[in-house]
Amino acid sequence: MTADDPAKPAPHSQTLDRGLRILEILAEAERPMGIAELAVALGVHRSIAYRILRTLEDHRLVRRGPDGACELGVGLATLARGVSRDLHSAALPELAAIANEIGVTAFLAVPDGEECVTLAAVEPRHSVAAVAQRPGTRHALDRGAPGLALLSAGPARPAERPDVTAARRLGYARSDSEVLPGLASLAVPVVSGTRGTVGALAVVFVGDAPDEEKTALRLQRAARAIAAELP
């Protein structure tokens, strides 16, 4: 077996892996983190964490405050704009319209293997109790309305959840307290004639739901508008 043999697993970069893990740790953190905290979370010596952070800081992927605590930097926003750029651009106006019309947080989720990942989210302008839905949030594809909606747009799977079958019949999915306790969501698939199922358009709320059928129809209308904008 030669070094170029495709059957042989290629060695990975430990330094790059650690840098990416730091970004993931900071993304999940509720507040900026100090270098010592990050070193412990990463399982490395403080000097190693410091060198990695300096590199990330040079590329504006991490920002250090006056107290030395670290948080994600603005460079990530530049990178994020390139992720599904056309889908993101087509969805944002519809997300904003839905959020402000219904008064709940609207978001777009995309499939990533057997997971569902939030690509973009918009909170209503005039609500003090809207649920925050951060881009990058992920959960299992078979849990939560967005994942169920994505599955409903495809062929039936063996031992498929009845909720997916129902969503395929109704044209939308609903879930209650499946991803986070106390939170409910409604979602519809976004299906492009040229690209197939590209995502799920959803709203998330606490307590009493907005009118379910009316909200589902609004989401379906927005999903068609998004799909029509895609090349």
Question: Looking at the domain assignment, is residue 136 inside a domain?
Answer: yes
Domain stop point among 44, 78, 112: 78
Query: Are 87 and 71 in the same domain?
Result: no
Query: Are 133 and 159 in the same domain?
Result: yes
Domain stop point among 78, 106, 132: 78
CB 65 within 8 A of CB 73: no
Instruction: Specify the CATH number for the domain of residue 74.
Output: 1.10.10.10
pLDDT along the chain (231 residues), means of 10: 52 85 85 91 92 91 89 75 74 94 91 88 75 80 93 90 94 90 92 89 82 93 93 80
**pLDDT score, position 78:** 64
Query: Are 92 and 74 in the same domain?
Result: no
Count up the domains in the chain and report the number. Answer: 2
H-helix or E-strand spanning residue 148? helix 145-152
**pLDDT score, position 151:** 95
Cα–Cα distance list, 11 to 15, 16, 18, 138, 230 (Å): 12, 12, 14, 27, 38
**pLDDT score, position 83:** 56
Domain stop point among 31, 63, 78: 78
Query: Are 52 and 146 in the same domain?
Result: no
Going by C-beta distance under 8 Å and a sequence separation of 6 or more, which residues neighbour residue 172? Answer: 145, 149, 186, 187, 188, 216, 219, 220
Query: Are 55 and 93 in the same domain?
Result: no
Question: Looking at the domain assignment, is residue 3 inside a domain?
Answer: no
Query: Are 66 and 91 in the same domain?
Result: no
Going by C-beta distance under 8 Å and a sequence separation of 6 or more, which residues neighbour residue 150? Answer: 109, 111, 116, 141, 189, 197, 199, 200
Gap between the Cα atoms of 33 and 39, Å rounded: 10
Helices 35-42 and 46-58, axial angle in degrees (round to 10): 110
- Domain residues for the domain of 49 are 14-78
**pLDDT score, position 2:** 47
**pLDDT score, position 188:** 97
Query: Are 109 and 196 in the same domain?
Result: yes
| pTM above threshold 0.75 | no
